Amino acid sequence: MLDAATLDTIATQVAEAQAAPHTMPKLTDDFPGLDVEGGYDVQDRLLARWSADGRELIGYKAGLTSKAKMEQMGVTEPSFGILMRDFVDCEGSVIPTGGMIHPRVEAEIAFLMKDELAGPDVTIEEILDATEFVQPAIEILDSRFEKFKFDLASVIADNGSAARFVLGGRPRRPRDLDLRTIGLVLERNGEIAALASSGAVLGHPAEAIRMMVSWLHSRGRTLPAGSVVLTGGATEAIPVEAGDAVFARFQDMGEISVRFA
């Protein structure tokens, strides 16, 4: 357990590494007492700072929810993080890489919530009832750690490498699809870079929300109505650089494109 002053110091380091993007060593190198709960305490401090700056929380992200992602990043449990309104880019937009260190893209299914979810163990049925629609998303990650290498506590403190995200495609009612078997194809510059099925995310992407709501509950919070939720990359994350065009096709849910400059 780290004391409040140390958690404040870590939050300042992370906030600075994100605001004027630069790498830092894995936080557990300098702060070996940092654990997963401490990582979330750092996130709380980031949220408090950003809210004080007038930035708005619009939802939450689950990460490291598929085997491909866990293997790529060398961890065995999901992570959760916060999504601010200013992380959003428009479908079809050109995203500058200048403000990022080593961006990577991943295809995810987003949920838009119409009702609040709360408590230690909501069911998948309750989650589907509380969902307005599901929609394709591309998340653009940018770890602030050298060589994109970290452990779970460090990446949680870095808000799950969150940088930008794009929603697009065709919003669908969650019960009109079989969310265990949606095919996802991620292309970079016209070539397939990764393939997955939505079931790669914990068997059903709503399972990521089930875990998220119980995590929120453990921290005295709920998932508010109106939240955007990213359920985690079904494929591994693919590096991008200026000039790249990325296209994600989602079976029965349409497609999203973005370019990087």
Closest separation in Å from C-beta 15 to ligand OOG: 18
- Looking at the Cβ atoms of 112 and 138, the one nearer to ligand OOG is 138
Q: Which residues bind Mg ion (CB under 5 A)?
A: 63, 139, 233
- Looking at the Cβ atoms of 63 and 136, the one nearer to Mg ion is 63
Q: Which does 174 bind (CB under 5 to 8 A by kind): ligand OOG, Mg ion, none?
A: none
Q: Which does 168 bind (CB under 5 to 8 A by kind): ligand OOG, Mg ion, none?
A: none
Q: Which does 235 bind (CB under 5 to 8 A by kind): Mg ion, ligand OOG, none?
A: none
Distance CA 131, CA 118 (A): 14
Q: Which does 73 bind (CB under 5 to 8 A by kind): Mg ion, ligand OOG, none?
A: ligand OOG
- Looking at the Cβ atoms of 59 and 233, the one nearer to ligand OOG is 233
- Taking alpha carbons only, the member of 231, 216, 215, 210 closest to residue 125 is 210
User: Pairing relation of β-strands 131-141 and 162-167?
Assistant: antiparallel
Task: Determine the residue with CB nearest Mg ion.
Answer: 139
- Looking at the Cβ atoms of 7 and 107, the one nearer to Mg ion is 107
Q: How far apart are the first and last CA of the chain?
A: 42
Closest separation in Å from C-beta 73 to ligand OOG: 5
Q: Which does 103 bind (CB under 5 to 8 A by kind): ligand OOG, Mg ion, none?
A: none
- Looking at the Cβ atoms of 28 and 235, the one nearer to Mg ion is 235
- Looking at the Cβ atoms of 169 and 233, the one nearer to Mg ion is 233
Q: Which does 160 bind (CB under 5 to 8 A by kind): Mg ion, ligand OOG, none?
A: ligand OOG
Q: Which residues bind ligand OOG (CB under 6 A)?
A: 61, 63-65, 69, 73, 106, 108, 139, 141, 143, 155, 160-161, 232-233, 237
